[in-house]
Amino acid sequence: MERLQKVIAESGITSRRKAEELILAGKVRVNGAIVNELGTKVSGQDIIEVDGAIIERDVAKKYYLLNKPRGVISSVSDDKKRPTVVDYIDTDVRIYPVGRLDYDTTGLIILTNDGELANLLTHPTNQVPKTYIAKIEGFLNKDEIDRLRSGVRIDGRKVLVDHFKIRDKNLEKKTSLVEVTIFEGRNHIVKKLFESLGHPVKRLSRIKIAFLEVGKLKSGEYRELTIKEVKKLYSLK
Ligand code: URA
């Protein structure tokens, strides 16, 4: 017997957290009856419906690493018919992005149908480092760098900076290229971080998620993660 939300997440249709929301919203049925309690346990024989559709059990887990181009949305579908990260992956299984990158941000994003891993990587208690390169307006002075390193408060919460360095400065254009490693996944967090220091981000790219690097992946290219890499991601918990 396993918890209902775990079984739903493992079927690949959504994350465990979203599955919990669906259960609480009364959108989940077990053997035809609505179940809206999170503690419910189910067996392999139980038929589970989410939003009227029966979920498939024991779907093979797939893991992809995409180098997202600019102008692509980090979701499964878009009402405005803009290209999504899922459009880039040639697969038969229903996958979704782990966390998100802004429409105009490029770089690494993981896509999977493994709700368990998606949950682990996005949960704030698991400190998964993510490295970004940002082109920012102007030049950071010593005081601003110190503030950045000691943790700038954004929307009431400090952003922990694991690593920061200035890669380059363009004196003519008055821009800097900086590299920053943070643990969080809050929306627009890197842009907010530099904006709060008075240096708006003009371009942003994620070059690393934990130990996964862009490597040979060109913009729009992807690869499957190896079993070893998946195990290593699980060990970040
Ligand atoms: N921080 C941002 O501001 N944007 C992203 O896409 C990712 C992190």
121-164 tens-digit pLDDT: 998 888 899 999 999 999 999 999 999 999 999 999 999 999 99
Q: Examine the domain organization and report whether 96 and 205 are in the same domain.
A: no
Q: What average pLDDT does the segment 48-75 reach?
A: 93
Protein residue with its CA nearest to atom 7 in ligand 1: 101
Closest approach atom of ligand 1 to CA 100: 6
For atom 4 of ligand 1, which residue has the closest CA? 188
Residues 221 and 114 in one domain: yes
Across 231-237, average pLDDT: 93
* Residue of 191, 195, 201, 205 to mutate, ligand 1, most atoms within 8 A of C-beta: 191
**pLDDT confidence of residue 126:** 87
| Cβ atoms of 23 and 48 closer than 8 Å | no
Q: Is 217 left (phi over 0), alpha (psi -120 to 50) or beta?
A: beta
Per the annotation, the verdict on 146 as an active-site residue is: no
CATH number assigned to the domain comprising residue 160: 3.30.70.1560
How many domains is the chain partitioned into structurally?
3
Domain ranges, residue 149: 129-209
Is the confidence at residue 224, as pLDDT, over 80?
yes
Q: Is 29 left (phi over 0), alpha (psi -120 to 50) or beta?
A: beta
Rg (CA), the chain: 20
List the residue whose alpha carbon is closest to atom 3 of ligand 1. Answer: 188
Same domain, 197 and 134: yes
* Residue 46 and residue 73 in one domain: no
227 pLDDT higher than 90: yes
- Tokens at residue 61, please? 């887990």
Q: How far apart are CA 97 and CA 10, in angstroms?
A: 15
pLDDT of the residue at 124: 82
> What confidence score (pLDDT) does residue 103 get?
97
Range of weakest confidence among 4-13, 33-42, 77-86, 179-188: 4-13
**Coil, strand or helix: which one is 8?**
helix
Q: Span 2-23, mean pLDDT?
A: 89
Q: Give yes or no for a contact between 164 and 180, defined as CB atoms under 8 angstroms apart.
A: yes
Q: How far is Cα 119 from Cα 226, in angstroms, rounded to an integer?
A: 19
DSSP symbols for 142-200: HHHHHHHHH-EEETTEEE-EEEEEEEEEETTTTEEEEEEEE----TTHHHHHHHHTT--
Residue 96 Cα, ligand 1 centroid: separation in angstroms? 18
Q: Are residues 142 and 205 in the same domain?
A: yes
C-alpha 191 to ligand 1 mean position (Å): 6
Q: What angle do CA 209, 82, 136 make, to 5 degrees?
A: 50
Do 141 and 176 have their domain in common? yes
| Its pTM surpasses 0.85 | no
Task: Using a pLDDT cut of 90, give the percent of the chain over it.
Answer: 83
| Ligand 1, residues at Cβ distance < 6 Å | 101-102, 105, 188-191, 204
Task: Please give the distance, rounded to the nearest whole angstrom, from the Cα atom of residue 111 to the centre of ligand 1.
Answer: 17
